Chains A and B, each alone.
Chain A
Amino acid sequence: MDAPETLTVHLRVKRYNPEVDRRPHWQELTVEGLEPTDRVLDVLHRAKWFHDGTLSFRRSCAHGVCGSDAMVVNGANALACQVLLSEVGTDVTVEAIRGLPVIKDLVVDMRPFFAQYRSVLPWLVAGDDPGYRERRQSPEERARFDDTTKCILCAACTTSCPVFWGNSGYVGPAAIVQAHRFLFDSRDEGGADRLDVLNERSGVWRCRTAFNCTNACPRGIKVTSAIQEVKRKIFSDRV
């Protein structure tokens, strides 16, 4: 049996260690022995394991579920574990997602992102005690917010948003998606408090419908559509 064809990837990584470097710089690496079905994450693994152990990046599940390895791959946000070399070719450029402080290389400080997430009360608010029963809802009521239950909080949407790059106070697409998940849940009673947060200056009205979030979402969530539904809900409930 013939040996499978192997690829050599020309990798460019934006390196930055704020404790040592004055500014970020690009490192070029040649990584061999890859296959077209390998992912950008595999390239980074090989680069770290066999070429430069100081390269830092996050990954946990490595299968598109945990959302740890969002990064800018060839100019656009993606999960490194989901992008195949057969899609991007052998010239691969990676850098940290934009708009959040870089801790080192591809690792960013996610705390501002999670603070925005918490600000929209992303949990079920229901005062009644159902007793020894579930809070039931019909399949139609469940389907109403199905799309926004898929979010894995990888920050690919928020850090692709040009409004967020210019204004880190903007609550961002991911937090709005999470708010949408509960706003349109028939069992939830916290809508008014959530809409108070989203109706502020830093809330949904900052969205200028550039659609980068929708294109960046690795889960295929219709992010802009969800944001617009929240805008219309504020409009119909409050005006």
Chain B
Amino acid sequence: MTATGSAPRVNPVYRGRSGQWAFVGHRVSGMLVFLFLLLHIVDVSLINISTELYDEVHALYGNVVLRLFEVGLLFALLFHSFNGIRIVMVDVFPGAVRRERRLLSAVVFLTLAAGIPGGYVIMKPFIDGTLLG
């Protein structure tokens, strides 16, 4: 029997396993870090125009929204760095290919272990001032 009417909802995403999501995470985090690098080149080069402008723009980084952005940047940098080491290990050591899922678990663990305290330090002025103060 053929059904007619509205189109069924089908998930278009390929059902890959952890390796596929590590690949996607690496691309996305790499792109975020690259975009930040462009922004960073612009904000640092402002010192060529005037020191006051440089100070004004950098004061914006104290803003809560940009602090949250920096926390995201920290996680992206950590994941990209640790996963980069995982990819090199998979390329170089035959044993790492067999253990790639365990290596990815280590990447996620290290990203969280370094990112959560790091994120706390970045957000500390707001946590101390608004939530705990």
Contact = CB atoms under 8 A, between A and B. Distances in A.
A binds B: yes
Interface of A: 12, 14, 25-30, 51-52, 72, 74-76, 93, 98, 160, 162, 208-212, 214-215, 222, 224-225, 228-229, 231-232
Nearest to A77: B14
A74 B16 CA distance: 11
Interface stretch (B37-45, B86-94, B111-119, B122-130): B86-94
Given A51-B2, A160-B14, A211 B20 contact: yes
Given A29-B2, A160-B14, A212-B14, A228 B8 contact: no
A29 B98 CA distance: 41
A25 B10 CA distance: 11
Contacts of A51: 1-2
Contact of B16 (A52, A93, A210): A210
A161 to B, nearest CB: 10
B1 A215 contact: no
B97 interface: yes
B116 to A, nearest CB: 27
B22 interface: yes
Contacts of A229: 94
Given A26-B8, A29-B1, A51-B2, A228 B94 contact: yes
A225 B13 contact: no
A212 B16 contact: yes
Interface residues of B, number: 27
B11 interface: yes
Contact of A215 (B13, B16, B91, B92): B16
Contacts of A214: 19
A26 B2 CA distance: 11
19 contacts: A28-B8, A29-B3, A51-B1, A74-B15, A76-B14, A76-B16, A162-B24, A209-B91, A209-B97, A209-B100, A210-B19, A211-B100, A212-B20, A214-B19, A215-B19, A224-B19, A224-B100, A225-B98, A228-B91
Contacts of B94: 225, 228-229
